[in-house]
């Protein structure tokens, strides 16, 4: 594909086109790799290149891992041009207000599994059971779930509520927002 612009050479790469297309919201490199069906190294390299030419930007620059990338205004314009040129379906890029540092933090496998499983107020064993039903390969114990829930409470992602004689964990508004963002990144309806 040759687009007659200053970024024509950049967008000549099919991998970069796929990465640009996959960014429906801010995502980590591993989420981009899954959505674009690329290796993690290819996704990271393409994101770095897009950031270097100001089509994407890192939203949590202090993070050492799970860096979250979003599109710039120029990136959104180019994304729609590339989609139109290649006859790909149009998807509107959304960047809701969120704590992107926290978003990157919850993207780790156990944290994400627990967050995904918290569709309703629950106790730790039930959260573990739901997490395992979503991902049978995950190795997570009830104690792992309790550790994650403790970290969630410290970061205001989850809270404890008493229901009868039980203490159940439920997501806060921040937790609900993060869960919706992660489900959308995964392509699952919230």
Q: What angle is formed at CA 126 by the lines to CA 122 and CA 132, rounded to 5 degrees?
A: 130
What backbone phi and psi angles, to 5 degrees, belong to 97?
-65, 125
What backbone phi and psi angles, to 5 degrees, belong to 57?
-145, 150
Query: pLDDT: is 70 or 87 the higher one?
Result: 70
pLDDT, position 11:
56
**What Rg do the C-alpha atoms of the chain give, in angstroms?**
19
Arithmetic mean of pLDDT, 6-17: 66
Q: List, as own/partner pairs, every contact residues 35-38 make where C-beta atoms lie below 8 angstroms and the sequence separation is at least 24, other chains included.
A: 35/185, 35/187
pLDDT, position 2:
36
Q: Say yes or no to pLDDT of 65 above 80.
A: yes
Arithmetic mean of pLDDT, 109-119: 93
User: What share of the chain in percent tops pLDDT 90?
Assistant: 57
């Amino acid at each position: 594909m040759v687009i007659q612009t200053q970024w024509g050479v950049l967008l000549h790469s099919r991998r970069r086109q796929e990465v640009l297309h996959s960014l429906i919201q801010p995502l980590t490199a591993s989420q981009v790799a899954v959505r674009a069906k690329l290796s993690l190294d290819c996704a990271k390299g393409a994101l770095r290149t897009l950031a270097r030419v100001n089509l994407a930007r890192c939203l949590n620059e202090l993070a050492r891992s799970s860096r979250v990338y979003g599109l710039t205004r120029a990136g959104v314009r180019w994304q729609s041009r590339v989609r139109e040129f290649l006859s790909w379906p149009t998807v509107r890029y959304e960047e809701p207000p969120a704590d992107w540092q926290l978003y990157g933090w919850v993207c780790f496998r156990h944290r994400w599994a627990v967050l995904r499983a918290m569709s309703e107020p629950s106790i730790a064993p039930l959260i573990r059971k739901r997490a395992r039903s979503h991902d049978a390969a995950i190795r997570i114990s009830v104690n792992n779930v309790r550790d994650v829930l403790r970290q969630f409470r410290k970061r205001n992602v989850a809270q404890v509520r008493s229901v009868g004689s039980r203490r159940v964990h439920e997501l806060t508004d921040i937790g609900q927002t993060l869960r919706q963002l992660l489900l959308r990144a995964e392509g699952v309806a919230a």
